[in-house]
Structures are given as structure tokens and as C-alpha cells.
Amino acid sequence: MPRKAWLHPGSVGIQLVRKLKIGGRAFLGWNHGPVMSNWEWLMCFEDSQNIAKTNGIAESGVKVDFDAVEDGYLFPPHTKVLEDKRSFLYQYPAYSIFLTRLA
């Protein structure tokens, strides 16, 4: 099978989650909303069987428990750091995804 030059980020996410055992957990961090929103990620996992077949990465999809959290809540500002320089971590709408493979 020829290699594809570019895979949709949802396809890559499905491949990564398929490597987990049932009950395994993954963290996909520092996502930028305008590139791919947390709702788009969620839709990828909900439609993972069709996406997997379309991109030739698997015959079946995966089921996950999905939670998206804004990075500003995960990495609260530290006044000493903010005095020295600004961090891209806090630029809205950066977010992280926590996944648990269910099936």
C-alpha cells in the first residue's frame, strides 16, 4: 500500500489509541482550536470506523472516553514566569485531550 503524504489528525489519533490496551490512557496536549477543535476530535473518535477504513489504517474503529480541558486550567499561571516572558500555553484556545480506550 502506498504511503499517504498527509493523514488527517483524527486518523493519527485513531492510530495512536489503537496501540493502547483496553483501559489504556493517552494525553494529546497543546492543541490549537482553530486548527482542529475538541468537537472535531470527538467526532473523529465517534466516527472512527469510517475514518479508519477510508484512510486504510484499520478495519475497525475504537471507542474512547473523551475529555478536553483548556490548557489554562491544566497549567495555571505562575506570576514569576509571567513576569519574565509570556507562554504560548495560555493563548486561547489551547486545549489538551485525555482519552481512555474503552474498546
Q: What is the mean pLDDT of the chain?
A: 77
Asked if the structure places residue 4 within a domain, the reply is no
- The structural domain count of the chain equals 1
Helix axes 9-18, 38-46, angle to 10 degrees: 60
**Which pLDDT tens digit goes with each residue over 76-85?**
666 555 555 5
Confidence of residue 65 (pLDDT cuts 50, 70, 90): very high
What's the Cα-to-Cα distance from 26 to each of 3, 9, 13, rounded to whole Å?
25, 15, 10
Q: Could you list the residue range(s) of the whole structural domain that residue 68 is in?
A: 9-101
Asked if the structure places residue 3 within a domain, the reply is no
Q: Where are any strands of DSSP class E within the chain? A: 25-32, 64-70, 94-101
Residue 1 has pLDDT above 50, yes or no: no
Asked if the structure places residue 62 within a domain, the reply is yes
Q: By C-alpha distance, which of 69, 70, 15 is closest to 45?
A: 15
Look up residue 26 and give its DSSP letter.
E
Asked if the structure places residue 52 within a domain, the reply is yes
